[in-house]
Amino acid sequence: MSINTMKSINHSNNTVWHEASVTRDRREKLNQHKSVIVWFTGLSGSGKSTLAHAVEEQLHQQQCRTYVFDGDNVRHGLCADLGFSNSDRSENIRRIGEMAKLFIDAGVIALTAFISPFKADRDIVKNLVNPEDFIEIYCQCDLGICEERDVKGLYKKARAGEIEDFTGISSPYEEPESADLVIRTDTLSLEDSIQAVLNLLHERKIIS
């Protein structure tokens, strides 16, 4: 399916998608692997970013074309104008979904590390692409462990009422109901977590 036929929320008026001669299929053949969105979701402190970057390192060593969309990094640029209200969180995820869609058209394995607490928002991203183009990985971690790992001091501030709408404290996290992979990041080692993701990518024939 070409990128212009994928589902989208809306589009600008008076614009027509330009079909390029260099297609996703040709880019994938050049890269010698499939492209896909690998969406890591979970509470703050659950290890999403750590796992996403560690998986990218392994894929890079295998000569794969990759890119990690990290929640904090994205908010320094593309989503710098957004806060953490429910509507801003939804817009943040919408923008990332649209960007990740472009990256898979570019033949890249796009790994994203976002809390993405609301099922409806994650479903919007899923519906932007074909079912096989979206792999949802739930980094499941006990809230107490996430708070113990609180290297940024965010949970402490949220408990003190200094941060509003903080997921897991004053704002809900809706667990995925049918994630492609659930990783207990509070009990599984990083090495085993990485291997579980790589095994899934092999099973899905994203990488050989």
Tokens in use for 182?
């659930």
SS3 content of the chain, % helix, strand, coil (to 5): 40, 15, 45
Contact 35, 106 (CB under 8 A): yes
Which pair of tokens denotes residue 58?
């392994």
3-state secondary structure of 134: strand
- Rounded to 10°, the helix 24-31/86-105 angle is 70
| Catalytic positions, written as ranges | 116
Q: Are 139 and 48 in contact (CB under 8 A)?
A: yes
CATH topology of domain 25-203: Rossmann fold (3.40.50)
Alpha helices in 67-189 (DSSP H): 71-74, 86-105, 119-126, 143-148, 154-159
In this prediction, residue 5 has a pLDDT band, given cuts at 50, 70 and 90, of very low
Q: What is the pLDDT of residues 104-116, one digit of tens each?
A: 999 999 999 999 9
Scored b (16 or more CB within 10 A) or e, 170-207 reads: ebebeebeebbbbbebbebeeeebbebbbeebeeeebb
**pLDDT at residue 19 in the model:** 77
**Burial grade of 17 (CB within 10 A; 0-12, 13-18, 19 or more):** exposed
Query: In this predicted model, what pLDDT tens digit does every residue of 125-152 receive, in sequence order?
Result: 999 999 999 999 999 999 999 999 988 8
One DSSP character per residue, 150-167 reads -TT-HHHHHHTTSSSS-B
